[in-house]
């Protein structure tokens, strides 16, 4: 590194003031402060299921009813959550510097909290809980209905004594486009699936030209997003990490600020 890793906030803010293209790369940590479960690590369970085991094409093929109960629960939690001070600081910074800086937020989160906080230039790498995709015609639509279908009313509680799901497939969400009638699925990038090429291209384009990158609330272990910040640092961009604890890539970055994003970001982005 050309610069020794630092926690000098004043020095970081000087870099922020002179930067022209800024990318804010966010992960589960910022939304955890709004009460969104991370579903990673030891606590990543819903009922008796490891969350990752329900977030796959195979799980949906084998038991779409169970998968929809899980995602109904996630939608309900996200709908009730509120953007926290970290989300708001990002949105306020983008709005305040719109005439002098290009700010892009790339998020691995699917909860929609960045948009609800007011962020405009937003790339959602892994999709959105409040979008559906038809398994037949592939149409993607925004859907904020609560519940998304009548059969999911009072379903999805994370009660470990509940086993399986008995909702008939015909009662699950289905496409209403013309005569399609295809089964809908959450518009989420599941394990074993590739990111949407257009979304990935937009993210890579923003990362390739930014002169400053903020890594916010992400452990930087999920690919391809895990490559973004290290590659930016290698080509000379300044990278600052904001996390509760150091990550495997912390030593590769110029700045590291420890603590909740809801406390560190409002200070860092107030210029």
| Residues catalogued as catalytic | 126
- Count H helices and E strands in the chain, helices first: 10, 11
Question: Is residue 134 annotated as involved in ligand binding?
Answer: yes
Nearest to 262 by CA among 83, 17, 112: 83
Question: Distance between CA atoms of 177 and 207, rounded to whole angstroms?
Answer: 37
Tell me the CB-side half-sphere exposure of residue 167, using CA atoms within 13 A: 23
Q: Which residue has the tokens 């970055």?
A: 253
Question: Is residue 35 annotated as involved in ligand binding?
Answer: yes
Question: Is residue 240 annotated as involved in ligand binding?
Answer: no
Question: Distance between CA atoms of 3 and 19, rounded to whole angstroms?
Answer: 16
Question: Is residue 162 annotated as involved in ligand binding?
Answer: no
Question: Is residue 29 annotated as involved in ligand binding?
Answer: yes
Question: Is residue 15 annotated as involved in ligand binding?
Answer: no
Q: Are 130 and 138 in contact (CB under 8 A)?
A: no
Q: What is the DSSP letter of 183?
A: B
Question: Is residue 234 annotated as involved in ligand binding?
Answer: no
Query: Cβ atoms within 10 A of the Cβ of 235, count?
Result: 11
Question: Is residue 243 annotated as involved in ligand binding?
Answer: yes
Question: Is residue 38 annotated as involved in ligand binding?
Answer: yes
Question: Is residue 34 annotated as involved in ligand binding?
Answer: yes
Nearest to 238 by CA among 41, 1, 8: 1
Tokens matching residue 256: 């590291």
Question: Is residue 190 annotated as involved in ligand binding?
Answer: no
Nearest to 94 by CA among 128, 131, 130, 123: 123
Question: Is residue 199 annotated as involved in ligand binding?
Answer: no
Question: Distance between CA atoms of 26 and 126, rounded to whole angstroms?
Answer: 12
Question: Distance between CA atoms of 90 and 229, rounded to whole angstroms?
Answer: 18
Question: Is residue 200 annotated as involved in ligand binding?
Answer: no
Asked if residue 147 has a cis previous peptide bond (ω within 30° of 0), the answer is yes
Question: Is residue 112 annotated as involved in ligand binding?
Answer: no
Question: Is residue 198 annotated as involved in ligand binding?
Answer: no
Tokens matching residue 183: 């089964």
Residues flagged as binding site for Zn(2+): 134, 137, 175, 180
Residues flagged as binding site for NAD(+): 27-46, 108-111, 217-219, 243-245, 261
Residues flagged as binding site for substrate: 71, 74
Residues flagged as binding site: 27-46, 71, 74, 108-111, 134, 137, 175, 180, 217-219, 243-245, 261
């Amino acid at each position: 590194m050309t610069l020794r890793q630092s926690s000098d906030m004043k020095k970081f803010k000087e870099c922020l003031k002179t930067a022209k293209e800024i990318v804010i790369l966010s992960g589960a940590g910022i939304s955890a402060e709004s009460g969104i479960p991370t579903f990673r690590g030891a606590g990543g369970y819903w009922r008796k299921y490891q969350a990752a085991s329900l977030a796959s094409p195979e799980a949906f093929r084998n038991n779409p009813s169970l998968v929809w109960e899980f995602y109904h629960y996630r939608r309900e939690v996200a709908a009730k959550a509120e953007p926290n001070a970290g989300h708001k600081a990002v949105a306020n910074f983008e709005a305040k510097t719109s005439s002098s800086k290009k700010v892009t937020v790339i998020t691995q989160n699917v909860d929609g909290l960045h948009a609800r906080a007011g962020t405009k230039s937003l790339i959602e790498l892994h999709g959105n809980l409040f979008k559906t995709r038809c398994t037949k015609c592939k149409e993607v639509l925004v859907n904020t209905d609560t519940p998304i279908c009548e059969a999911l009313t009072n379903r999805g509680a994370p009660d470990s004594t509940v086993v399986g799901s008995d909702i008939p497939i015909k009662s699950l969400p289905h496409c209403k486009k013309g005569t399609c009638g295809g089964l809908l699925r959450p518009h989420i990038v599941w394990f074993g699936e590739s990111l949407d090429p257009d979304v990935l291209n937009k993210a890579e384009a923003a990362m390739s030209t930014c002169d400053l990158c903020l890594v916010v609330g992400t452990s930087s272990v999920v690919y391809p997003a895990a490559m973004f910040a290290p590659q930016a640092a290698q080509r000379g961009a300044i990278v600052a990490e904001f996390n509760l604890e150091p990550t495997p890539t912390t030593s590769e970055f110029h700045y590291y600020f420890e603590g909740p994003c809801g406390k560190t970001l409002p200070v860092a982005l107030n210029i």
